Amino acid sequence: MKNEIKAEAYHLGFIDIGFTTPDVDVNYAQFLEWTEKGCQAGMQYLARNNTLSVRQSAKNLLPECETVICLAYPYPLIAPTATEDQGRIASYALLQDYHITVSELANKLVKKISQLLGDQLLAQVHLDTSPILEKSYARQAGLGWIGRNSLLIHPKYGSGLFLCEILINISIEPDSPFTTDGCQNCLRCLNACPTKAILPNRSIDARRCLSYLTIENRGEIPKEFRQAMGNRIFGCDQCQLACPYNKQSKTSLNAESGQPTINPTPELDDSFAMTEEEFHSHYKQNPVLRAKYTGFRRNLAIAMGNSENPDFLPLLHQAQNTEPNPIVAEAIAWAINNLEPSANPQPDPSFMA
């Protein structure tokens, strides 16, 4: 039965599958310490009392759970070349929202398991929207190790992975946990991080992380990190692009699922000019919607401010007079200040020795 489940998972496009039990060590103590230090930043749902304790065991999601089936689905990491007029969108967001695609595939696998086990099966599909420490479960199921950048790294497929868990009420022989540390003494991801957000214990301080700041963050982006954003308008792949396991990754998606559904380097001015309705239509069923319309415009304004291209000034001045959102308005003002020659006077050469 276990082999049949694995065969079906590979047939559906998952690159790996592993089995573990719900009560294995999932680094829950480290997660508690991480939230106590406030490293979750504005993602307070991670530290809510009603979900905090749930993460200790998958049995808190499904009391009858006897087996956690861990799945990994790949996505290609892309390092797009963008001009000063273009923004950059993180690789995982170039495909249809994985919450849709991966959960659909996982539910197809559940149907296969149901055929094998019959009416006695109870099953739940979970992704990262559920209170489950999925990377730790994946390590316990033998899929890979937790890298220095906090991501699960598969020895053949790197970290460009969407993780998913199926909880079932049937006991299946667990796989051995992954115990090798493939990172060893490598520090490339730490050195590549633009804001030094990677902590020594292989976790991320979201308060400094550009992925959090440009996606989940609903407030202003701290000024100390804006220059480091560069032209990133949604997410940041730097720690993954620096990882040698991703440079040699065997990720290979089929032609249909592997083709980007959006432009990885959209024009900044065209994107900024979108109405809210156009934004939702253009990024329908895409992770970019996670940033919300105002967050996306905030990011675009900062990217324009970093571009050193004064041609954006007319658009920014026009928006400054009509922008109703104070967070976006502040980002626009910052961008104008960066681009206005009068705001950044150059030294008079005649006074230079």
What pLDDT was estimated at residue 350? 42
What pLDDT was estimated at residue 118? 84
Q: What is the pLDDT along the chain (353 residues), one digit of tens a residue?
A: 999 999 999 999 999 999 999 999 999 999 999 999 999 999 999 999 889 999 999 999 999 999 999 999 999 999 888 999 999 999 999 999 999 999 999 999 999 999 998 889 999 999 999 999 999 999 999 999 999 999 999 999 999 999 999 999 999 999 999 999 999 999 999 999 999 999 999 999 999 999 999 999 999 999 999 999 999 999 999 999 999 999 887 665 444 456 788 999 999 999 999 999 999 999 999 999 999 999 999 999 999 999 999 999 999 999 999 999 999 999 999 999 999 976 554 454 443 33
Q: Is 23 a catalytic residue?
A: no
The contacts of residue 213 (CB under 8 Å, 6+ apart) are 221, 222, 225, 229
103 phi and psi angles, rounded to 5 deg: -65, -35
Residue 347, in any domain of the structure: no
What pLDDT was estimated at residue 256? 46
Query: Which residue has tokens 């199926």?
Result: 166
Among 191, 136, 202, smallest CA distance to 163 is for 136
User: Distance (Å, rounded) from C-alpha 62 to C-alpha 80?
Assistant: 42
Residue 278, in any domain of the structure: yes
Residue 198, in any domain of the structure: yes
Cα 128 to the chain's mean position, in Å? 10
The contacts of residue 159 (CB under 8 Å, 6+ apart) are 147, 149, 151, 152, 153, 240, 243, 245, 246
Domain that holds residue 85: 2-254+262-341
Residue 350, in any domain of the structure: no
* Two tokens, residue 315: 């658009």
Can you point out the beta strands (E) in the chain? Answer: 16-20, 67-74, 88-89, 123-126, 145-146, 152-153, 161-168, 232-234
User: Distance (Å, rounded) from C-alpha 284 to C-alpha 162?
Assistant: 20
pTM for the complete prediction?
A: 0.93
The contacts of residue 242 (CB under 8 Å, 6+ apart) are 188, 189, 191, 192
* Two tokens, residue 215: 């996606």
163 phi and psi angles, rounded to 5 deg: -105, 150
- Output Rg (C-alpha) for the chain, integer angstroms: 22
Which H or E run includes 6? Answer: helix 2-12
Angle between helices 313-320 and 292-306 (to 10 degrees): 140
* Two tokens, residue 285: 């069923």
296 phi and psi angles, rounded to 5 deg: -65, -45
Please state the domain count of the chain: 1
What pLDDT was estimated at residue 258? 62
What pLDDT was estimated at residue 352? 39
Residue 52, in any domain of the structure: yes
Residue 302, in any domain of the structure: yes
228 phi and psi angles, rounded to 5 deg: -65, -20
Of 16, 23, 119, 128, the catalytic one is 128
What pLDDT was estimated at residue 100? 95
Amino acid at 248: Q
What pLDDT was estimated at residue 353? 36
Residue 65, in any domain of the structure: yes
What pLDDT was estimated at residue 351? 35
Residue 346, in any domain of the structure: no
What pLDDT was estimated at residue 260? 84
What pLDDT was estimated at residue 20? 98
